[in-house]
């Protein structure tokens, strides 16, 4: 995220949210749910979501999370097919960009978002289960409104 121009302040906000233990290192003794964090950090999460939803950042996020993935030698996708072999729809790469970049509405639901893409830690591991600690280092970006966004866009094609 640093390489696409995300500010240091917002990077720290993301890490703080990610670990959820009032540290930037994941070494805090008490871990909080995202709901608990929203009560005290909502203003910071809104600022992070606003910066992360800028077009220049969104384009890079779309490439990394949907179009190509994290490895440089990955081949870009042509699009996304949703459905069964007999019934479904296809969103081209161009349409994916159009949907995700044209949205004016930015979700402010108390977590960190890239417009309609939601950021979350892989596992906050609130109960500190030893086998789940490794998942705590990963993160997930989800397109929760994919089906709704896609079908709404395809109505006008």
Where are the chain's structural domains?
Answer: 2-154
Q: What is the pTM of this model?
A: 0.86
> Is the pLDDT confidence value at 105 over 80?
no
CA gap 134, 124 in Å, rounded:
10
> Is the pLDDT confidence value at 131 over 90?
no
> Is the pLDDT confidence value at 5 over 70?
yes
First to last CA, the chain: 33
DSSP H or E segment with residue 30: none
* pLDDT tens-place string over residues 22-31: 999 999 999 9
Contact by Cβ (8 Å): 112, 46: no
User: So what's the pLDDT on residue 109?
Assistant: 66
> Is the pLDDT confidence value at 81 over 70?
yes
């Amino acid at each position: 995220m640093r390489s696409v121009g995300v500010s240091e302040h917002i990077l720290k906000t993301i890490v703080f949210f990610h670990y959820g233990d009032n540290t930037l290192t994941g070494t805090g003794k008490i871990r909080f749910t995202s709901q608990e964090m929203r009560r005290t950090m909502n203003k910071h999460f809104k600022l992070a979501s606003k910066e992360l939803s800028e077009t220049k950042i969104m384009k890079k996020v779309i490439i990394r999370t949907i179009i190509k993935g994290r490895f440089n030698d990955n081949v870009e996708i042509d699009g996304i097919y949703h459905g069964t072999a007999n019934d479904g729809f296809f969103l081209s790469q161009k349409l994916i960009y159009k949907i995700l970049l044209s949205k004016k509405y930015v979700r402010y639901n108390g977590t960190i978002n890239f417009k309609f893409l939601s950021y979350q830690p892989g596992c906050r591991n609130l109960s500190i289960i030893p086998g789940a600690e490794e998942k705590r280092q990963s993160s997930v970006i989800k397109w929760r409104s994919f089906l709704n966004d896609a079908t709404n866009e395809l109505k006008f094609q």
